[in-house]
């Protein structure tokens, strides 16, 4: 068997099938069904006004993925904890300064409002720069 004896598996496509139709077939770019797809369509302005007046309720069912960060001031810590006390998110949740969400300890950020007179050891909390200065000045530490 030689190359000139081989036969094609599929036949050639007839030339009259090539390039029929246009870019806008069937629905002509109007989508499917509804007021906009009909012949002689004309949206009445009163319909638009009615739609605009409806409350849209945007985002009512979705609370987002963001983690809630609980702000706690150093003044609140000074009142709630004894001298030399350990401060962590679990204890803050027990005292009511932060809330547990879905069984997880809260993310707590300690801010610098208020005065600190007691020595405290703070762990697993985010601490602002001003709060860090005040805590370390009172003899406390941050882990």
**pLDDT for the residue 15:** 64
Calpha distance 70→97 (Å, rounded): 8
Count CA atoms closer than 13 A to 128's CA, side-chain side: 15
Residues of the chain below pLDDT 70: 15-21, 58-64
**pLDDT for the residue 41:** 80
CATH number of 69-142: 3.30.70.260, 3.100.10.10, 2.60.40.1120, 3.40.50.300? 3.100.10.10
Host H or E run for residue 53: helix 45-53
**pLDDT for the residue 125:** 94
Q: What is the pLDDT of residues 101-120, one digit of tens each?
A: 888 889 999 999 999 999 99
**pLDDT for the residue 17:** 62
**pLDDT for the residue 102:** 82
Whole-model pTM? 0.54
- Tokens at 100, concatenated: 């547990």
Do 114 and 76 touch, CB atoms closer than 8 A? yes
Taking the alpha carbons at both ends of the chain, their separation in whole angstroms is: 83
Q: What is the pLDDT of residues 52-66, one digit of tens each?
A: 887 777 665 666 677
Question: Which SS3 state, helix, strand or coil, does residue 90 take?
Answer: helix
| Dihedral sign for Cα atoms in the order 41, 42, 44, 48 | positive
């Amino acid at each position: 068997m030689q190359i000139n004896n081989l036969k094609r598996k599929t036949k050639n496509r007839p030339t009259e099938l090539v390039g029929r139709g246009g870019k806008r077939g069937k629905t002509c770019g109007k989508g499917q069904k509804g007021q906009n797809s009909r012949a002689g369509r004309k949206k009445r302005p009163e319909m638009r006004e009615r739609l605009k007046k409806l409350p849209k309720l945007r985002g009512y069912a979705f609370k987002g993925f963001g983690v809630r960060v609980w702000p706690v001031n150093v003044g609140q810590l000074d009142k709630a904890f004894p001298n030399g006390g350990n401060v962590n998110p679990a204890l803050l949740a027990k005292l009511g300064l932060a809330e547990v969400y879905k069984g997880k300890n809260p993310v707590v950020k300690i801010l610098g409002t208020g005065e600190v007179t007691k020595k405290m050891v703070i762990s697993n909390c985010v601490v602002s720069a001003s709060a860090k200065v005040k805590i370390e000045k009172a003899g406390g530490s941050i882990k």
